Structure 1
Amino acid sequence: MKEFIDIHDYLISEAVVGDWDGDEELVCEKINEIYHTLYDYAEEDIAPEELTFLLELVWEHWIGQDVLPELESEDISDWCHNLLTNRDQYLTD
């Protein structure tokens, strides 16, 4: 059921990431990579409201993290996999 969620509704531009001392484009790319990875890893039959909630966590969790510009694709993959694996703890809070 994830086909009901349009990932493009979540992708961001440099204009919304704030000041990252010249790394705004990189930060934008990293956040968008996280969105795409999470969406790709989500099961095809995930409930749309559950996927929406998880996608909204991306911005809440990452936008203030100083490490964001240095994230590697492997780190992003690990985080997304962990979020999906442990999503019950986030969905019940």
Structure 2
Amino acid sequence: MKDLLSVHDYLFAQSDIGDWEGEEEFVTERYNELIHHAWERLDDDLSCERIDEIINGIWEQLRGDTALLDAEHEELMDWVEHYVDSAQDEQM
């Protein structure tokens, strides 16, 4: 079902990210990079609803968290991999 959706539907514009005390551009770029990485890990046969839950869950976990500013790139990528893999395993 993944082919019925587009990763671009889940990306944020800088105006969507909220107030990050002058770091909105950095946070937007970093978040969108995480979404692209998550998208690549999603199974092609996941339902559209489940994809929505997983991708939207990333923002729910990270919004307002200074990890988007403070964490190393690799740490965030590893976190996304674990989050997506765990969420997919829950469905099975």
Q: TM-score, normalised by structure 2?
A: 0.83
1:50 is paired with a residue whose SS is: helix
CA drift at 1:84: 2.3
Q: Report the AA paired with residue 26 of structure 1.
A: F
The equivalent residue for 1:58 is: 58
Which one is further off, 9-18 or 63-72? 63-72
Instruction: Supply the distance in 2 between the matched residues of 1:3 and 1:57 (Cα, whole angstroms).
Output: 20
The count of residues paired between Structure 1 and Structure 2 equals 89
Instruction: Supply the distance in 2 between the matched residues of 1:78 and 1:21 (Cα, whole angstroms).
Output: 26
Instruction: Supply the distance in 1 between the matched residues of 2:16 and 2:22 (Cα, whole angstroms).
Output: 14
Which one is further off, 72-81 or 30-39? 72-81
Unaligned runs of 5+ in 2: none
Map 1:69-88 to 2 at 5 A: 69-87=69-87, 88=90
The equivalent residue for 1:33 is: 33
CA drift at 1:65: 0.3
Q: TM-score, normalised by structure 1?
A: 0.83
CA contact (8 A) 2:41 2:85 kept: no
CA contact (8 A) 1:31 1:58 kept: no
Percent identity between matched residues is 30
Which one is further off, 62-71 or 32-41? 62-71
Give yes or no for the alignment of 1:19 onto 2:19: yes
Q: CA RMSD, aligned part only?
A: 1.6
Displacement over 6 Å in runs of 4+: none
